[in-house]
Structure 1
Amino acid sequence: MSVRLPAAPRASRPPVADPAAAAPAGNRAGDLRRRAWRWHFIAALLVIPFVLWQAVTGTLYLWSEHWVDQRHPDLRFVEPAAQSVPLDAQVGAARVFHAGRAVTGVVVRSDPARSTQVVLGGAHGLPVAAFVDPHRGVLLGSLEGSAWPVGWTRSLHGGWPLGDAGSWLLEIGACWTIVMVLTGLYLWWPRDGRGWRALLPRVGRGRWLFWRDLHACVAVWFALLIVLFLCTALPWTSFWGGTMLPALESAVGQQAPRAAGFAPVFAGGSGAQVQMPLQAMLRQARARGMDGDLLFHMVDGPPGSAVSVRELGRGGQQRYLLLDRGDGGVLEHADRSLLPGIARAVAAGVDIHEAEYFGRVGPWINTGFALALAWLCITGAMAWWRRRPPGALGVPPAPQQPWPWGLRVAALVMFVTLPLLAASACVLWLGERLWLARPAAGPHA
């Protein structure tokens, strides 16, 4: 019988398998560091696909409107005229060509050289965009499926085609990304007296240390922005945004006006027909100072069928209007100055997430942020691949000491604030217990 000797370690591999291995055993600080490294590792394994998915789909959506302008100018731009046909006639032109498909939204542009966009329900849950000349009332054409990137990129970014289940998975990914950021900050925090120099990668100390530092430093540079983006994404999710946020607003007496629907496309729309003329609703909106681009969105729910009207691309100057679909009566009218504190923070977060907060440079800022996320995912995965033991996943072992009380309180706060984080952590804990309790494999015959 031959005996296979272990191969000598490659020179390119670091002598320390993980950042916590050098910490003294039994030391409280060392135990915390090992625990932080373990959860940082587990969180990274869970969220790297999520972060890459959201970064790619979000960036594609960010530039999709510009792409359509360049690719289909015949659909997006028209010859201006002094008069416009009623909005109902414009929507009717789209309905004639797309018979049987429900209208879920209408985008009316303030620029007379731009077409009116009618959004209809499409196959497999993806929207269809029909473009109508507002001055002549003729249908210019339609885009759907892969030809309409505004629709499919936003749908994919919001969890399509899994519906609520997709939104829950995205929310779980956001929760574990927060864990990854917090544990990563703890692991990076300089304990060797470097101070602010820890914000820069160390050079001249070997290639491995340089790339590891570059990964950590870029993460620290963008840590605040990462957490901010994750927090601004939570109101769009079906569980936290649909359950936790309304409960929080109700508990502190800061209910947001029903007119201020921050995520109407993710929320879905009704297929019912509008009874009150849309043209009358448009006049009401313009009379109330809503002079920018307007989104008419068909919604259902308390107090019944309604039409939500909101301004697009106005940032902090947005106004919101909720009209009864039957008689056109104004159910609510609000602007940013009338929003309570939580709703105002959510609205500002939406502006940041949609690259409207910083004006024209906003899309470039968000694109740079997405590239930084991709960098962190790639370098983090490379670091794991180089560190992992051959033939193993390389999950750091669990510390033997009990959780410190401060850490328990912090975990409890996060679990109460983010229930899906708590549920997924329980699933991971149960899976680990079952894995450890499995019968040991017997010797081969």
Structure 2
Amino acid sequence: MSHSSSAPSPSVAPVSAPMGRYAMLWRWHFYAALFVMPLLVILGITGTIYLYKPQIEAVAYPSQLYVPAQSTPRLPQQILYEIAQDNTPAGVPVLTAEIHNAPDRSAQFTYLDPNEGKSSVFLNPYTGEVLVKMPTLNFNATYWIGLARQIHRGLLLGKTGEVIMELAACWTLIMIGTGVALWWPRQKKGMKQAIKPDLSKRGRPFWREIHATLGIVLAAGAVFFVMSGLPWTSTWGAQFKQLVAQVNLGYPPDPPGAVSARHEGHEGHEGAQASATRVQDLPLEHTAWGAGLLSVPNSTLPAEGQQGQPDHHSHGAHAGQGAQSTDAHAMHAGHAMPAATSETAEPITLDQVMTLAHANHIPDEYSIALPAGKTGVYSVSYYPGDPTGEKVINVDQYDGSIINGVAYDQYGLIAKVISFAVSLHMGTYFGWVNQLLCAIIALGLVTMAITGFIMWWKRRPAGSLGAPRLPAALPSMRGWMIGLVIFGVIFPVTGLSMLVVWGLDRLYLARYRRSMALGTTTV
């Protein structure tokens, strides 16, 4: 409808300069929240599910993951592998052995099912009985947990979903920044009142109290969550990793021939008390790493068929797995297996590889990728909750010598920081307390989104978007504009979306000014 210009505009309000800046910040906060709110709910819920992966899987999949502990020895890992290989559909090769030495854990081997994709076969390690064969979604997460992780990463929309989630993360930072600015007390006695919500209020003011208090309490944790997740996004994260690799501050490449599936962050950085999950990292262009970073004498290997499992288990995390090992002839010069060796020698057993891993301080909860063909290598990947223990080693499949490896000490400075951030983000660094703190932040952000929606719905005029009113005169916001421009340059995809929002907002403002000049406004 339309009315005369003498009536006050519902979208343009004459205010002082400070209140004008407040109005513009509120407007940007509104735009950010409008986009982020539904995605925060998804991220918070799926992230919390994945935080408690070990506990959920223990309840949801007890007959697959666990067996009654027995006093008799477990079957050799090599025998279990052969049983698993005999039970893959159409004889597809087993890709990895997931090592869990706890006496009540089943044996797990992964393979690529022709119809269902990534799958696992679980065996009773004492009898060799096949417990179940089931799809496990990318890299050692049981199906429903894996589904939650895939939604968390990209809404099951592939590259499009990953870009949407990257935008959501960056716009969350804008929402937090503008939200803190809106909250910041403008009166000398306002700080205490701002931190302590007034629960006596009713209606929209009540929800505003909850929203504001939660927002300021969770702000630091939310920023950490976003920043620790951004290196694993598919666009900005990929470019960031390449940049830090070029200045020798990132992750070195996995050893030639390795399939460690290192550091995919949200794709599964597991911690204590859990079997972990990883997916193949984006390759980093980096200076080549010399072979022989880790080594033990060949005499440490047990005789053929000897049980090689350590006597104890520490519930650390392991890496997930990727595809089978690549041809060892792609390794550095001097480290490819001689052709004569691959023709005449017999491969060592998985039990011998396990003994070698244990001698290199890899006790439990790790992944062994099987050699691909006669010239392949064993790749052992270990990612405990404490990032300083992370390592990947390549093992000659015939003589058991360690060809090369990469350990935490070889990471660049930024890679080391990211490793710790990922462990904290995934709730694996200091046990259940870490899980609890992450869950509080994640579910707190869900609550923030819900309370924000309720506030908007209660304030929104019928049939209108209900964006905060524009000030009659645009205030000077040079500092904010400079900050947002820098932010947009650092995160170009988000910067482009910010330009779109800014342009639409200016068109909206111009429309009202023209309407007011003509003597009518349209609601």
2:239 aligned with 1:243: yes
Contact preservation (8 Å) 1:257, 1:334: no
Please give the secondary structure, in 2, of the residue aligned with 1:379: helix
- Which residue is equivalent to 1:340? 412
The 1:155–1:104 alpha-carbon spacing in structure 2 relative to 1, beyond 3 Å, is farther
- Which residue is equivalent to 1:42? 31
State the distance in 2 between where 1:54 and 1:364 align.
16
TM-score between both structures, scaled by the size of structure 2: 0.69
Contact preservation (8 Å) 1:126, 1:155: no
Deviation, 1:105, is 4.6
**Alignment counterpart, residue 321 of structure 1, candidates 382, 392, 413:** 392
State the distance in 2 between where 1:4 and 1:434 align.
19
- Which residue is equivalent to 2:334? none
1:126-175 superposed Cα distances (whole Å, 9 cap, x missing partner): 64332123344442213337973232222222225322322221111111
Deviation, 1:88, is 4.7
Alignment of 1:10-409 (within 5 A): 24-25=15-16, 27=17, 29-78=18-67, 79-80=69-70, 83-100=73-90, 103=94, 105-121=96-112, 127-144=118-135, 148-159=143-154, 161-193=156-188, 194-204=190-200, 207-251=203-247, 253-259=248-254, 261-263=262-264, 265-267=278-280, 270-272=322-324, 279=350, 280-296=352-368, 309-323=380-394, 329-335=402-408, 337-397=409-469, 400-401=473-474, 404-409=477-482
Deviation, 1:317, is 4.4
State the distance in 2 between where 1:127 and 1:389 align.
50
Contact preservation (8 Å) 2:488, 2:495: yes
Deviation, 1:51, is 0.7
Return the structure number with greater helix share.
Answer: 1
Please give the secondary structure, in 2, of the residue aligned with 1:41: helix
Contact preservation (8 Å) 1:310, 1:318: no
The farther-off stretch of 363-372 and 308-317 is 308-317
Please give the secondary structure, in 2, of the residue aligned with 1:158: helix
State the distance in 2 between where 1:114 and 1:220 align.
43
1:184-239 superposed Cα distances (whole Å, 9 cap, x missing partner): 00000010222233201135555432321111101111110011111111122222
The 1:106–1:181 alpha-carbon spacing in structure 2 relative to 1, beyond 3 Å, is farther
Contact preservation (8 Å) 1:109, 1:115: yes
- Which residue is equivalent to 1:11? none
Letter in 1 for 2:52: W
Larger RCO (CA under 8 A, 6+ residues apart)? 2
Letter in 1 for 2:391: Y
The 1:96–1:332 alpha-carbon spacing in structure 2 relative to 1, beyond 3 Å, is same
2:493 aligned with 1:420: yes
The 1:125–1:222 alpha-carbon spacing in structure 2 relative to 1, beyond 3 Å, is farther
1:243-264 superposed Cα distances (whole Å, 9 cap, x missing partner): 223313423x313233482126
Contact preservation (8 Å) 1:94, 1:130: yes
State the distance in 2 between where 1:104 and 1:240 align.
31
Contact preservation (8 Å) 2:97, 2:108: yes
Please give the secondary structure, in 2, of the residue aligned with 1:283: helix
1:262-297 superposed Cα distances (whole Å, 9 cap, x missing partner): 126344765446787672543332221111311346
Contact preservation (8 Å) 1:61, 1:149: no
Please give the secondary structure, in 2, of the residue aligned with 1:262: coil
Contact preservation (8 Å) 1:164, 1:238: yes
Please give the secondary structure, in 1, of the residue aligned with 2:47: helix
Q: Percent identity?
A: 26
State the distance in 2 between where 1:418 and 1:60 align.
28
Structure 1: stretches of 5+ with no match in the other structure: 6-16, 441-445
State the distance in 2 between where 1:414 and 1:200 align.
31
Deviation, 1:358, is 2.6
TM-score between both structures, scaled by the size of structure 1: 0.80
State the distance in 2 between where 1:216 and 1:342 align.
34
The 1:409–1:119 alpha-carbon spacing in structure 2 relative to 1, beyond 3 Å, is farther
State the distance in 1 between where 2:424 and 2:2 align.
58
Contact preservation (8 Å) 2:20, 2:475: no
Contact preservation (8 Å) 2:368, 2:379: yes
Letter in 1 for 2:208: R
Contact preservation (8 Å) 1:299, 1:305: yes
Contact preservation (8 Å) 1:295, 1:310: yes
Between the two proteins, the alignment pairs up a number of residues equal to: 417
Letter in 1 for 2:358: R
State the distance in 2 between where 1:313 and 1:292 align.
9
The farther-off stretch of 309-318 and 282-291 is 309-318
State the distance in 2 between where 1:226 and 1:217 align.
14
Contact preservation (8 Å) 2:488, 2:498: no
